Amino acid sequence: MRITFDATDGMGYIYLMPPKQQYYNSNNHLHKYLEQKNVEIPMARNNEILRRLDRLKISNKTYKNAVYKYSDIHMEYCNDMDKDGYIIGIELNLRKEKFIELIANKAFRIFYGDWRGKVVSLLTLDLIDKVFSPDNIIYPLNSKRDAFIIVYMEPKYKVGLVKALITSRNDIYPIDYLKVPDFVISK
């Protein structure tokens, strides 16, 4: 999974879908902060973790409708979506120290198992306690309800921050892509 961070503007981008164009960034400075052997996206079958999803509220509204139709959620910057509402990527405010901390503490993880009668994968994008905060809300990405995101709602400005992706769609969010860390820090 590619996550890029640009130190000049403090912006990050999480490619949840594989980028259309592959490129190698020779300007990657991640190795200055972390040894390659410590950069990984752990993956484990864990139905107990997935049962924790049942403690979170599931919205009846799709994420796209909550953002654009009802204005329940404001995006931090822009979460790119395809025509069906699946999130392509997430643009976010990110500090170098925070990004390194998330990588070092294995915040990016994949848990897979059974949830709501389907085999799903849960990709966490933050520390586990922040993913499962009781205030977070699960939003379906469309009416098919085969992919969801967990959103933390910042109370003051109603900015929704994506904390995790839940999917049964390996064709859209391939595990073989998501489990490979492609983290880039550029200056």
Domain ranges of the chain: 2-186
Whole-prediction pTM: 0.94
Give the N- to C-terminal CA distance of the chain in Å, as an integer: 20
pLDDT in tens, 30-67: 676 667 777 899 999 999 999 999 999 999 999 999 99
Which residues does 12 contact at the CB level (< 8 Å), separation at least 6? 3, 4, 5, 6, 91, 92, 93, 94, 99
pLDDT of the chain, 187 residues: tens digit per residue:
999 888 788 899 999 999 987 665 556 666 766 677 778 999 999 999 999 999 999 999 999 999 999 999 999 999 999 999 999 999 999 888 999 999 999 999 999 999 999 999 999 999 999 999 999 999 999 999 999 999 999 988 889 999 999 999 999 999 999 999 988 888 7
Q: Which residues pair with 81 in a beta bridge?
A: 87
Predicted pLDDT at 24: 58
Q: What are phi and psi of 144, to 5 degrees?
A: -70, -25
| Long-range CB contact pairs, 14-22, < 8 A, 24+ | 14/89, 14/90, 14/92, 14/125, 14/162, 15/88, 15/89, 16/87, 16/88, 16/89, 16/90, 16/123, 16/165, 16/173, 16/178, 17/86, 17/87, 17/88, 17/89, 17/172, 17/173, 17/177, 18/174, 18/177
pLDDT in tens, 58-74: 999 999 999 999 999 99
Q: What are phi and psi of 170, to 5 degrees?
A: -65, -20
